[in-house]
Structure 1
Amino acid sequence: MSDMKDAFAHVGGVLATGLAEVTGDPAALDSRGWWAVVVTYEGEVTCARFTEVRRAPHPTGRWSGAAGWSSSLNEAGYVAGVRRIRAEIADGVVYQANLCRVLSAPLPREHDIAGLGARLAVGNPAPYAMTLRLPGLGVASASPELYLSRAGEVVESRPIKGTGRTAADLLPKDHAENVMIVDLVRNDLGRVAVPGSVEVPALCALEEHPGLVHLVSTVRARLAPGAGWPELLAVTFPPGSVTGAPKSSALALLEELEPVPRGPYCGAVGWVDADSGRGALAVGIRTFWTADGLVRFGTGAGVTWGSDPHGEWRETELKAARLLAVAGEGGNGEGLDQR
């Protein structure tokens, strides 16, 4: 892994270098300077302040391709989990839950995270893509989903629920699921917003991304006086689109069903410019991370009463396929062990 002088972040066409400090305190995001941010699904915060920030192309690096992927849940285990969630829905415990699995593979022989990020930028461009190299941690994200953006007192979230190869693949359950999560996000933001300021400018809008389509909604609010990034994270994290509703019940159920931590997957990745009061954190989906000699990648699907268990497994495969191909040996993504 890199040392301090090799650290960088690339996001939104901006390259940040000159790592000055790393902290786990989100209050730093309301202080000064430009920060790269990673928050794991389990709530571990990494804020890295960089001193040199400029428009620049994505850095290059060597990535020889990952192979030999294994999954934290095989198809039988995942299908059983979906059936358990449907049973909990029938009992009124949850209305929806997002069941995930984490894929892992040995780091390839040449494994500069800049190289993987550059591959993603070409093979799977995404509106909230980010590559980050810190001592002990590498992240390469092709996230299409905005968790939280902030421009002064205005905050916005754009939850995704509903995925298919084409618009014709989207089902009534996808629309219902999206509306459920929009209600959850509205309620979360309402806890730190000026009363009456929460609005939904777009509901279930269709967005096209490489290889698939999504239903995306927009929730907007004005922050109450005295509220900042720590307060925002406290009431909205983990993102509702990757947990479920009600969130507290879904979190407890998913902790039972998922055998390994999600890490940065389903957490938050992005940037904050404390000097200008602006920032954008994406939901950590379509995201690779490297640590402890492994590269990991997560995939999941939202489960409702209308879910078909094997259909949800296939959705996790659809979401993963293109990204694993980009990261794979020769760019072909071979070697996923799903037994």
Structure 2
Amino acid sequence: MFAHVGGMLATGLAEVTSDPAALDSRGWWAVVVSYEGKITCARFEDVRPAPHPDGPWRPPGEWRSSLDRDEYLRGVERIRAAIADGVVYQANLCRVLSAPLPDGAGIAGLGARLARGNPGRYAMTARLPGMAVASASPELYLERAGRVVTSRPIKGTGRTEADLLPKDRSENVMIVDLVRNDLGRVAAVGSVTVPELLAAEEYPGLVHLVSTVRAELEPGAGWPELIDATFPPGSVTGTPKASALALLEALEPVPRGPYCGAVGWVDADRRRGALAVGIRTFWAEDGLLRFGTGAGITWGSDPLGEWDETELKAARLLEVASGER
């Protein structure tokens, strides 16, 4: 069992719990939360700066998608119809790819290849009881330094900055408003701010629009209250969140698992931590390697363009997993 995140290697598993209150207790924790809300908190005794561990890796078999292109296009149209009816303003439609995982292919080997071929600002690789995850996430869900909390939602994707559309900017602003409201549920009055809005940032193979939302936790609030108020992350659900969640449950045929959940670390002793949105994320389950990809749908969405966005987001990472990078 191990976790590698933020340049730190954690070994010596001491405790595993599903209670997020543990993150306010003591010690260093690796954290994985599935989109469906299953929380795994693993406390490690030995945490030290170290390069990413390597290991054997073999390319997976043929990839299959939970939604094919025609099904995805129909899903986009159903979301647009729901927008026309006033049910939602935006919803993030996702699909899960799966491929047979060869014998001898370890998650450390995949994580090391991601670190070389598609490094993510909030990358994490972990093998914990009952799960194995390798994430190259570029998106910050929650960072905590004492009582100060920061979120950096991503919405808007193009091959280059010139490809970003007005639809991308309006979508980002909608999600920023949702994140502000979520954090406001556990923030000190008047402390929620937006220090940065609609910053174009380059990542391997694409460009994203990123905004920053910051707040100060109200007295008595800790990790359980913070996660309860903000999960699942707004950028991978939609707005209004409750309506978007219900709509997506009807449209997506398989669970998302760690994809669109949260992955990261918490140092309870130092009252610091950072959880990424579980995008650009592989996980091993039931002899299969799984990977999720999706796109935010608004009234201005072109269905084929949204499908192409899911392909763009997946392309480079699938190449890494297949040994092509």
Give the shorter-chain TM-score range: over 0.9
Distance between the aligned counterparts of 2:285 and 2:248, measured in 1? 24
The structure 1 residue matched to 2:111, chosen from 98, 113, 117, is 117
Structure 1 distance, partners of 2:61, 2:93, is: 24
Specify which of 94, 98, 101 is matched with residue 92 of structure 2.
98
Q: Distance in 1 between matches of 2:273 and 2:102?
A: 33
Q: Match for 1:331: what amino acid?
A: E
Q: Counterparts of 1:51-62 in structure 2 under 5 Å?
A: 51-62=45-56
- Tell me, in whole angstroms, the C-alpha distance in 2 between the residues paired with 1:204 and 1:67: 38
For 2:25, the equivalent position in structure 1 comes to 31
Q: Give, as a single letter, the amino acid of the residue that structure 2 aligns with 1:321.
A: A
Preserved CA contact (<8 Å) 1:37 1:46: yes
Contact 1:198 1:221 in 2 (8 A): yes
Q: How far does residue 109 in structure 1 lie from its aligned partner after superposition? A: 2.9
1:1-339 aligned within 5 A: 7-328=1-322, 330-331=323-324
Q: State the distance in 1 between where 2:194 and 2:102 align.
A: 44
User: The residue matched to 1:251 in structure 2 has which SS?
Assistant: helix
CA separation in 2, counterparts of 1:300 and 1:21? 34
- The alpha carbon displacement at 1:134 in A equals 1.5
What's the Cα RMSD here?
A: 0.7
Structure 2, unaligned runs of 5 or more: none
In the alignment, structure 1 segments of 5+ residues that lack a partner are 1-6, 333-339
* TM-score, structure 1 normalization: 0.95
Q: With structure 2 as the length reference, what TM-score do the two structures score?
A: 0.99
Distance apart, 1:32 and its partner CA? 0.4
| More deviation, 268-277/63-72 | 63-72
Deviation at 1:66, TM superposition (A): 1.3
- Number of aligned residue pairs: 325
Q: Sequence identity of aligned pairs in percent?
A: 79
Alpha-carbon distance in structure 2 between the residues aligned to 1:227 and 1:106: 43
Structure 2: how far apart are the matches of 1:21 and 1:173? 45
Give 1:335's aligned residue.
none
2:294 maps to amino acid: G
CA distance in 2, matches of 1:299, 1:8: 26
Asked whether the equivalents of residues 65 and 331 of structure 1 are also in contact (C-alpha less than 8 Å), the reply is no
